[in-house]
Structure 1
Amino acid sequence: MKKILKIDSPNDYARFVEAPVLHPLISIIHFDELAPFRHSLNNYGVYGLFIQRQFPEGLSYGMKTLQVSDASIIAVEPGQIGGLEDNGERISLSGWVLLWSPELLHGSELEHQIERYQYFSYFFTGSLRMEPDERLCITQLLSQMRQELLTHDDSPSLRSILLGYLHLILEYCNRIYLRQLSEEDNGGSDLLKRFHDLLQQYFRENRQLSQGLPTVTYCASALAYSPRYFGDIVHKATGGTAIGYIHNYVINQAKSLLMNGHNISETSRLLGFDFPHHFTRLFKKMTGLTPSEYLGK
């Protein structure tokens, strides 16, 4: 059975690594100041940013292994499990950790805005690669936040100041995320070719007969992307959605089958639909016509 550290409060992790406890709802930890500590596989009940020069190999998030670059940021959100299971080894790291409770956000604009930061998602399995100036700015903001916590008692005004700093740091992270997305978009045509080839292979091997229509999750995984990140890249490359691309491919296959003499029921089955009316509904949604109307044109 895996050893899992439950982090229901930001200070659960602070105590584990023997860092100072500064506030009940937020923890700012400077790894460079700590004695060596053990690895931990964490069950997060909090949000967090791990901002480090280097990360241990083999870090996981959910059921996936993270692809981590040097001088980068890993973002975590409540409800996920991530890290590296304690194996008895003690490690020294360089960087910072910012952890905060969802309670800190209650009633603030950031409570609603945080959902748009897609780099927190379980489906984003990479790290945010910082430029040197970004790393400097973010670490300076963390240092200033910690100084606020060290010199001022908890109060509504302090929490408002902390939220301001937090919002700024999250915006820096979002800029990095969007830049990486744009860099991936530069290879968008190659991705679309591989996406199209994958769909061709799926139907050539008749996987739809046992597995049904290909899903975005399946395609993203087969192409080594997270579903949400994959969807963002497809959207930037085509202006549409990944599921829309799949549906368009399926309907083009349907038109070919119909024109080659297959009836609606046969076409539906050959494409992996559970029921003919599901096929008819999608066909009309995509073409504006029912299969019968299409054949009658």
Structure 2
Amino acid sequence: MTSIPPIKTYNFLPCKYGSELLLDIGRIETLENYVLDSTLHQLSFYEIIFIKEGSGTFLLDENKISISPRTIIFTSPGQIRSWEIEQEVKGYTLFFEKDFLHLFFSDELFLYRFQYFHQYSHPAEMLIDETSFGKCLELLYEIEWEFEQLQNDSNHLIRSLLYQLLIVLNRYYAGVYNVQRDTYIHPDFYRFRSLLERRFLQDKTVEAYTKMLNVSPGFLNKICRQFSGLSAQQMIHQKLISEIKRQLYQNKSAKEICYEFGFSDPSNFNRFFKKLTNTTPHQYQKKI
């Protein structure tokens, strides 16, 4: 099996502007380092990419996203990415650490309120109309302007602009994919999503999560279907498949992944993967 280089991780630089500021903005065409990196890499922070011009492909985990004007791409920490540029890409990248928001709102699950982050059952991108994209750009211009003349209270103003932008994006995303548009989501649903992110290797049954959340299986399924369109078990399986594909993409063997993910033997692992993807791990790895 051909070896591939280790995946590099880009970390946030909190003191770039002197004092700690856990958010940054930049024009794609002028930034260096991780922006437009054509090799496999991951970020330790959140990023929203706004494409104004250009074409090509953005790989996010196993998903290939077409780059075109008015495309917005959402990425969460730890996702495997790379860029394949055909025509010069111009636009904005907005990136931030989760603490920039969740400490202010005293809610460590705050970013799970938005449909587009930590996404594995719906696309992590959307194409919107010119008017909607223009509204996003207006907010980005305001954030950019505040960075150009930073003051002692700028972090509060930038945070409020980011919050407004996240809500506007959530409404657009909900409209594009016909999902729950209100940022009010039942607390047990995003607690479940957060637990699933952290415990999918140890806990693969609905019962395990209902015990941790102290709710009934029927209730958990009801809120999962309401806010994601999937049952709780389907969400667990989607998360597992997403992570398995990520491991396969990094050239790990099916046998290695099988035991790392707690399957009893390779045949059970192969059956599980094929049932949900209509292909075997070996066939999937060969294809990519």
With 92-101 and 33-42 compared, the bigger mean Cα shift is at 33-42
Equivalences for residues 201-280 of structure 1 within 5 A: 235=225, 241-242=230-231
Question: If the length of structure 2 is used for normalisation, what is the TM-score?
Answer: 0.52
In structure 1, C-alpha distance between the alignment counterparts of 2:81 and 2:13, rounded to whole Å: 15
Instruction: Give the aligned partner of residue 116 of structure 1.
Output: 113
**Match status 1:6 vs 2:4:** no
TM alignment of 1:107-186, pairs within 5 A: 107-109=103-105, 111-123=108-120, 124-153=122-151, 155=152, 157-182=153-178
Deviation of 1:130 (Å):
1.8
Q: Residues 10 and 27 of structure 1 are in contact (CA less than 8 Å); yes or no, is this contact kept in structure 2?
A: no
Q: Residues of 2 paired with 1:119 and 1:107: CA distance?
A: 21
- In 2, Cα distance between the equivalents of 1:83 and 1:22? 31
Give yes or no for contact 1:59–1:82 (8 Å, CA) kept in 2: yes
CA distance in 1, matches of 2:154, 2:177: 35
* 1:64 matched to 2:63: yes
Matched, 1:44 2:47: no
Any conservation in 2 of the 1:21–1:27 contact (CA below 8 Å)? no
CA contact (8 A) 2:57 2:67 kept: no
Cα deviation digits, residues 26-63 of structure 1 (max 9, x gap) = 22111355699653533110111000035654422223
Moved more, 62-71 or 24-33: 62-71
CA contact (8 A) 1:62 1:122 kept: no
2:186 alignment counterpart: none
- Residue number in structure 1 paired with 2:92: 96
Note the residue ranges of structure 1 that are not aligned, 5 or more in a row: 15-19, 184-214, 216-230, 246-297
Counting aligned pairs with the same residue, the percent is 18
Call closer, same or farther: CA 1:162–1:112 in 2, change over 3 Å.
farther
Aligned partner (choices 24, 28, 33) of residue 31 of structure 1: 28
Indicate if the aligned counterparts of 1:48 and 1:99 stay in contact, CA closer than 8 A: yes
Q: 1:23, 1:149 within 8 Å by CA — same for their partners in 2?
A: no
Pairwise mapping of residues 77-96 of structure 1 onto structure 2 (< 5 A)?
A: 77-84=76-83, 92-96=88-92
2:57 matched to 1:53?
no
Distance apart, 1:145 and its partner CA: 0.8
Q: Deviations over 1:186-211 (max 9, x none)?
A: xxxxxxxxxxxxxxxxxxxxxxxxxx
Secondary structure of 2:142's match? helix
Contact 1:77 1:120 in 2 (8 A): yes
Asked if the contact 2:47/2:94 (under 8 Å) is kept, the reply is yes
Structure 1 counterpart of 2:245: none
* Cα-Cα RMSD: 4.3
Normalized per residue, which structure has more helix? 1
| Larger proportion of strand | 2
What per-residue deviation string (whole Å, max 9, x for no partner) do you get for residues 57-108 of structure 1? Answer: 44222233336664111011112222237xxx89631111001122322421
Q: Is the 8 A contact 1:61 1:122 kept in 2?
A: no
Kept in 1, the 8 Å contact 2:76–2:117? The answer is: yes
Map Cα deviations across residues 246-276 of structure 1 (whole Å, 9 max, x no partner).
Answer: xxxxxxxxxxxxxxxxxxxxxxxxxxxxxxx
Question: Which residue identity lines up with residue 11 of structure 2 in the other structure?
Answer: D
- 1:255 matched residue in structure 2: none
Which structure: larger Rg?
1
Q: Structure 2 vs 1, CA of residues 145 and 64 (structure 1 numbering), >3 Å: closer, same or farther?
A: same
